[in-house]
Amino acid sequence: MRHSPQSGFSLIELAIVSVVFCLFMVLAVPAWLEVSERARVSTGLRVAARLQQAVSEFAAVHDDMPDSNARAGVGEAGSFADRTILSVSIEATPAPGTVRVAYRHFGSMAKGDSLLLIPTRYGATLLWHCTSLTVTATLLPSDCR
């Protein structure tokens, strides 16, 4: 009787591959989720750039800082909403002309967590300081850390 060679994988080989795959998932998925959340937070800065420009133009023309979206001549706060952003508004606190980006709930972010872009006037120039009291430091864009 002839004996044919067996083909395929042994149970041990399949178990080792499964363990390696599970370890990869345990390590890679949390890192990918954090990178994904950081990217979503950064989209707020891109949207806020339009309002920063409006604040800068208003300050140059009127020699004053706007305290609302309407006064700066931009859309209502909710008009900038998307799947990540709840609203983008120009406010009077903590300083006139502050741009606040409020986020929707996603990942570790709670609904309403916000990023603040606070202007400081130096003559005819505005310098912007980015900060947040509610967004986790690891999720903040590098300009805000």
pLDDT tens digits, 10-31? 889 889 999 999 998 888 888 8
8-19 as b/e: b if 16+ CB within 10 A: eeeeeeeeeeee
CA atoms within 13 A on the CB side of 104: 11
HEC profile for 10-24? CHHHHHHHHHHHHHH
- Tell whether the model's pLDDT for residue 2 goes beyond 80: no
Hey, which residues does 88 pair with through a beta bridge?
101
pLDDT (mean) for 96-110: 90
Sheet holding 114-122, edge to edge: 85-91, 98-103, 114-122, 125-131
Domains of the chain: 12-144 (3.30.700.10)
Residue 137 pLDDT: 87
Residue 72 pLDDT: 92
Contact (Cβ atoms closer than 8 angstroms) between residue 129 and residue 58: no
pLDDT band at 79 (very low <50, low <70, confident <90, very high): very high
Residues 121-136: pLDDT tens digits? 888 789 999 999 898 8
